[in-house]
Structures are given as C-alpha cells and as structure tokens.
Amino acid sequence: MKDRYYAGFMNDKPQFFLEFTKGLGILRRRASVVLVDLVVLLYVWAMGSFSVNFILYHTKNFIGVPWWAMLIAVVELVAIWESFGVSIGMRLLGLRLAPIEKDTIWSHFLRYFFWHLVPFFSLQLLINSNSLLWHERLSGLKTVRASEIKEEPRRWYTRSWSIGVLVVLIVSYTTASFITKVNLVALFTKASGTAVLWDKLVQPNWAMFGQGLQLLIVTIFMAVMATLFAIIVAVPLSFLAARNLSHGVIGRTVYFAVRTVTDIMRSVDAIIWAIIFIVWVRAGPFPGMLALFVQATANLTKLYSERLESIDPGPPEAIRATGANRLQVILYGIIPQIVNPYLSFTLYQWDINVRMSTVIGLVGGGGIGQLLIQYMRIWDYSSAGMMMLLIMITVMAIDYLSSRLRARLN
C-alpha cells in the first residue's frame, strides 16, 4: 500500500511541476503586457507634461501633479486600454481578448472592474494552467493568443495600439524639439557669422603638411594596433557571448557575465576611456590606442556573437552526429560559416577606429587629433584646416578601401 502511494506521488509530481512551470510562463507573459503598457503611458505622461509645462509656464516639469496621482491615473489608463482595446503591450506579446459567449460593452466594463483583482485571480494558473480564471468567467472575456482568433483587417486609425504608437512618436518629437531647443531660424539666418572661419579652413597652411603627415601615420597605426588586439580578445569572447552556444548553468552564467561586461564597455565613450588611460599611463598615443582597443573589443564581441547566433545549425548537428568532439564541431561546423562575416566586421571596425583615433586625440590621446585641437584653441584655423584636410583624405581612402574589401569578402 505504501509503495503504491509512493509510486503514485512520484508519477504526479512531474505533472504538478509541468503545470506550475506553464502557469508561471503565462503569468510572466501577462505581467509583461502590463509592464510594457505602464512604461508606455508613463513615458507619454512625462513627455506630454514636459511639453505642456514648457509651452504654458516655461518650466521643465515632467510630472505636473503629485507622483502618486500620476501613478494611479496611469494604472487606470492601462486598465481601460487593456479592457476596451488592444494595447501596445498586448500587440507586442501577441495577446488578445476574446468573448467566452457573446461580446458586449457590459463585458468590457466588467473586465475593467475585475482587472484590478487580476493578481489574486491569476494565482489559479499555477495550479491549473488551462483553467478559466474567475475574472474571465465574471466578465465573459478571456485572454488568448492572437493566433487563436481571426482578426478582421482594419485601417490603422481604428486600432488603439497603432494610435498609441502614433501618440508616442508625436510626443517624443515635440518634447525632443523643446529639450534640444531647435532653432531653425538661427540655423538658416546666422550662417554668415562663420564666414571668417570657413575662409581660413579652406586655405590650409601647407607649411604644416610634414608635421601633420607624421602625426597622421601615428593615428593610423593607433587604429591598426587597437584593431589587432581587439580581434585577439573578441574572437574567443564571442563564443562565450553567443546564446546558442551557451549550455547549462555555467554556460548561461558566463554568457550573461560577458554580455554585461561588454555592454558596460560599449556604453562608455572612447573619449572617456582615453581620459581614464591618460591618467593611468600618461598622455600620448598609447592611452589613445588602449581606449580604441576597449571600444573595439566590445563592439566586435557583440557583432561576432550575433553572427554566431544566426548560423545554420544543420552543419554543426551533422558533424556532432558523427561522434565529433566540441572542438571539431567548432572547427568544421561553425568557423566556415563565420570567417567572411568576421573579416567584414573587422574591416568595418578598423574604419571606425581610424575615425575615432582622430577624435580621442582631442583629449590628449595622441595622433593628429591632438594637434588639431591645439590649433583650434589658439584660433590658427589655417593650420587646423591642414590637419582636417589630411584627416578627410585618409578617412575617404580607408572607407573606399574597406568597402571594396568587404564587397570581395561577401
């Protein structure tokens, strides 16, 4: 008797965990819909309040009311949006409301009322993921996947989610124009004030050609060294940062760690890295090269890993089926698919490094950029024009060369 009970318990246990996991996934999906809609409406509220306050009161206020009042209002707007239409969150997550028997306006009002109690009713999904929840029974509307119902084609202005996207775009553009203080009148009427500057820049001081050429060579080799070192580090890191190659707890942990570190490296501008390394190893070409190396490593790791994630899984699986080990699968099933894209990404990054190396010179990172900013500070625009001419010719030549090489690789 005891053995039969134990065996029955063990047979029921997987089913319980299966229901729990499935229900947890459904809850996470529905919670994501609410979160997306909350973020969208909070954003619209904040940006809209800023625009209204700027126009009417010339103040920069993103809320306009007490924060708790704004939060309550936004939550109610989310409830209305998800009960009477298809919100942006519902559209992105692929969920819709479908009538259980008959769709009436009263059903949507009931849905709006019971929406506030959804967190309590939804716990039922952890026990039975296929159950009809209480608020769905009471309102007569249930949440289903968009693929489960047939939607009639409608014009964009009759869909609430598309109107929501349009409102977000309009509010974003309006707020951005106020924040950035766009002044088209000044842009088109005060260009004459730069005439003296342009007159000097287009008459370069050819006596500085030799010195500029020497520093230009330094700048190019800074980019070359930074790219070479970045390749050495980014290639192995890209295999660790590819989701499809990360298996198990250790693999996932390493994946998230590498992604997080490279995201942090990319989020810090190369000029900031240059300043850090200048304090670290003193001014000159070396800290500039290190700054480019950090940025290039992060960028190439991202580009390489994303290419790895899009490889055809057929060849690796076929090679693995022959009994090959992990290294052989990588050598014969993965690398042949990524060689040309990796080379193309590398050439593109080298092109970026050449252009960025002139910029980091502005903060003391060495190269021709450092001399350019010195001449700009002392108002010697003719000499600065010579430096700019050399930079432009070099960037154009490298851009042409790299584009031709990428075209051959592809």
What's the total number of domains in the chain? 2
In a domain, 98, yes or no: yes
pLDDT at 92: 92
State the CATH number of the domain containing residue 219: 1.10.3720.10
Establish if 295 belongs to a structural domain: yes
Residue 55 lies in a domain: yes
203 and 164 belong to one structural domain: no
Residue 272 and residue 363 in contact, taking contact as beta carbons nearer than 8 Å:
no
What is the distance between the alpha carbons of residues 309 and 149, in angstroms, rounded to a whole number? 32
Name residues whose C-beta falls within 8 Å of residue 143's C-beta, 6 or more positions apart in sequence.
30, 95, 96, 97, 98, 136
186 assigned to some structural domain: no
The amino acid that residue 325 corresponds to is N
User: pLDDT digit string (tens) for 23-51?
Assistant: 788 888 888 999 999 999 999 999 999 99
Residue 7 belongs to some domain of the structure: yes
How far apart, in Å, are the Cα atoms of 359 and each of 63, 91, 200, 240, 292? 38, 43, 21, 31, 10
8 Å CB contact between 146 and 94: yes
Assess if residue 111 is contained within a domain: yes
Helices 285-309 + 270-281 axis angle, to 10: 140
Average pLDDT over residues 172-201: 81
How does pLDDT run across 1-18, given as a tens digit for each residue? 444 444 444 444 566 667
Nearest to 318 by CA among 336, 305, 304: 336
The answer to whether residues 282 and 368 belong to one domain is: yes
The answer to whether position 369 is within a domain reads yes
Say if residue 401 is in the same domain as residue 261: yes
The pLDDT value recorded for residue 410 is 62
- Tell me what the pLDDT averaged over the chain comes to: 83
Looking at the chain, the whole-number percentage of residues with pLDDT higher than 90 is 17
Decide if pLDDT at 165 tops 50.
yes
Q: How far apart are the first and last CA of the chain?
A: 70
User: Which two structure tokens, joined as six digits, stand for 330?
Assistant: 């990588």
| Separation of alpha carbons 202 and 198, rounded Å | 6
Task: Give me the DSSP letters along 1-12.
Answer: -HHHHHHHHHHH
The backbone torsions φ and ψ at residue 142, rounded to the nearest 5 degrees and listed phi first, read -120, 155
Report which of 162, 137, 169 is spatially closest to residue 85, judged by C-alpha positions: 162
Residue 397's domain comprises 198-409
Separation between Cα atoms, residue 233 and residue 255, nearest integer Å: 15
> Does the pTM of the predicted model rise above 0.85?
no
Give 111-164 as a DSSP string: HHHHHTTHHHHGGGGGT-TTPPPHHHHHHTEEEEEGGGS-PPP--GGG-HHHHH
pLDDT 10s digits, 308-366 = 888 888 888 888 888 888 788 878 888 888 888 888 888 888 888 887 877 777 676 67
